[in-house]
Structure 1
Amino acid sequence: MRRARFARVMCAPVLVGVLALMGCQKSPGASGSLNDTSASKSPSGYGLVFLGVDECASRGRGSTEVPCTSEKAQAQVIARYDGRQSEGPACPAYTDFVLHISESRPAYDEDGDGAVPKGYACMRNLESPHPGDPGGGGGPRTIVGDCVYTAGKGEVRETACDGSGENKPEFKVRSAVQNRDKCPKSTELYVQLGGSKPVGCAVPA
């Protein structure tokens, strides 16, 4: 058996529009932003917190909060945190993409102080596809069941396990452990995952 290598997950390239692919929790994933203009022109009104848990948002340029019953609703908030994503809690494992909320001063806000604080919302698409699912090839986190391909020395990127992505899967993360020595002997690649079990044990896909 070949000696297992260690690799960290690289950030994915940026896509056009406000929903850009950027690194999250040391893994590639979709993210986006609600800039000051879109937030101020589209006050919440649907809950006590702007884009609070279980609320919905449209997608694309000018993405904003909309009623979940609206035909414009594309994704639902499954977790919401204030502050910078790099300094806050990780999104749930099955998050499809992340909306970054810029600080703004809209006509309506949750506590009446005239401001919506900077934060981020972990989003789950209302309908398929779900890139955050195991093997889906996306989402802000790499999790057990995901596949990766070699993107450089000591670095990998996530890709769809079914081969539908631009790059074919080379390794699949079979388990997550606290330390490398907890991985099974069949492991050929250690993938940096983060969280309480930061080491992914991967085998050829």
Structure 2
Amino acid sequence: MLTGRIGCGIEIGTGSRPPIVRDLQGGVPQGTYSPAPEAAWVKDGCVDTGITDEGGLGLGPQQAVTCDSQYAEAKIVDIVDGGERTARTECPIDTDGFLDRPTGETACLRNLAGPHAGDPGKGGGILRVGDCIYAPDDGRAPPTERECYDRDGPGKIRSFAKKKAQCRDGDTATRRAAPTPVICHGAGAAAVRLGPVAETGACVKKPAALSLPGLGTSVRTPAQVACSDKTAWARVLGAARGKDRCPSATDYTLTSSLSYPSTSCLRRL
């Protein structure tokens, strides 16, 4: 919604809904605006609050309205008992987001128009094949959905299973609280940094090695410098999801489980 000011202390909102005139000094809303009449909270009904492209609740009073109302933003595709945690496994697969009700139920919502955070890879709604997840290696936090960085991940879901042994070769198995408790997914679920460590074509210094007791030798993230700098050591050929995916001209690789893509492909200068 766009907003503008007129006169002294008056704000006018403009958009698809009737204008709202508010006193900027904190007074009660003024003018002819009145809220939409409430409707029943039922499956296939609608609400005046949509789901953002990140999967959160948009602006609005969060009340049920008729679906032919100009205030309707999202459809109630189902209502389930329990909070959002339960809804994430019991709502329909095309759910964009959730709205808790004072009764203890949760409404499963699907926007009447895009964006649809519940679509595969978009970062919201119900976990489904094609979505991407964040899952720390230590297992201390449950897997959570996030928007995919590219067509392969990170942590792109390939299937769900009852047992870890049912995941196909090459998949990582992560447990969750659900009727099908195992998520079979690709690499990169533990990554906290999305995107290459250094730009393709850039030059970097030789990274410093760090000896960690019980963990062997680790290498710090290389510092990027001008290729003409006397400390420049290697040129970045690109980033890949593994050493075997680097260009043939690669001399060195640096891999980090906290980055996605995980491997930097380097060519010695």
- Category of TM-score, reference length = shorter chain: 0.5 to 0.7
Return the index of the structure with the highest Cα Rg: 2
Q: Retained in 2: the 8 A contact 1:142–1:193?
A: no
Q: Retained in 2: the 8 A contact 1:147–1:170?
A: yes
Task: Specify which of 100, 116, 138 is matched with residue 153 of structure 1.
Answer: 138
Pairing 1:133–2:91 present: no
Question: What is the identity, as a one-letter code, of the residue corresponding to 2:132?
Answer: C
SS at match of 1:204: coil
Pairwise CA RMSD of aligned residues? 2.8
- Shift in Å at residue 83 of structure 1? 4.6
Q: Where do residues 106-117 of structure 1 align in structure 2 (5 Å cutoff)?
A: none
SS at match of 2:159: strand
Aligned residues: 141
Q: Retained in 2: the 8 A contact 1:147–1:173?
A: yes
Q: Where do residues 35-50 of structure 1 align in structure 2 (5 Å cutoff)?
A: 44=38, 46=39, 50=40
Question: What is the identity, as a one-letter code, of the residue corresponding to 1:71?
Answer: Q
Q: In the alignment, which residue of structure 1 is the partner of 2:250? A: none
* Partner deviation per Cα, 1:153-203 (whole Å, 9 max, x = no partner): 33454222255xxxx94221101111001110111x223344332211111
Question: What is the identity, as a one-letter code, of the residue corresponding to 2:101?
Answer: I
Q: Retained in 1: the 8 A contact 2:48–2:60?
A: no
> Structure 1 length normalisation: TM-score?
0.58
Q: Where do residues 17-166 of structure 1 align in structure 2 (5 Å cutoff)?
A: 44=38, 46=39, 50-59=40-49, 60-86=59-85, 90-103=90-103, 118-139=104-125, 141-150=126-135, 153-154=138-139, 155=141, 156-163=143-150
CA distance, structure 2, for counterparts of residue 42 and residue 119 of structure 1: 22
Q: Retained in 2: the 8 A contact 1:93–1:143?
A: yes
Q: Rate the CA distance shift 1:74–1:151 in 2: closer, same or farther, 3 A.
A: farther
> Structure 2 length normalisation: TM-score?
0.46
Structure 1 portions without partners, runs of 5+: 1-40, 104-117
Q: Retained in 1: the 8 A contact 2:124–2:145?
A: yes
Q: Retained in 2: the 8 A contact 1:193–1:199?
A: yes
Task: Specify which of 156, 166, 171 is matched with residue 155 of structure 2.
Answer: 171
Task: Specify which of 174, 196, 216 is matched with residue 191 of structure 1.
Answer: 174
Q: Which stretch has the larger CA shift, 130-139 or 151-160?
A: 151-160
CA distance, structure 2, for counterparts of residue 72 and residue 190 of structure 1: 43
Question: What is the identity, as a one-letter code, of the residue corresponding to 1:142?
Answer: L
* Partner deviation per Cα, 1:129-175 (whole Å, 9 max, x = no partner): 11112211111x32221112455633454222255xxxx94221101
Question: What is the identity, as a one-letter code, of the residue corresponding to 1:58?
Answer: D
CA distance, structure 1, for counterparts of residue 114 and residue 86 of structure 2: 30
Q: Retained in 1: the 8 A contact 2:47–2:72?
A: yes
Structure 2 portions without partners, runs of 5+: 1-34, 50-58, 189-269
Q: Retained in 2: the 8 A contact 1:79–1:92?
A: yes
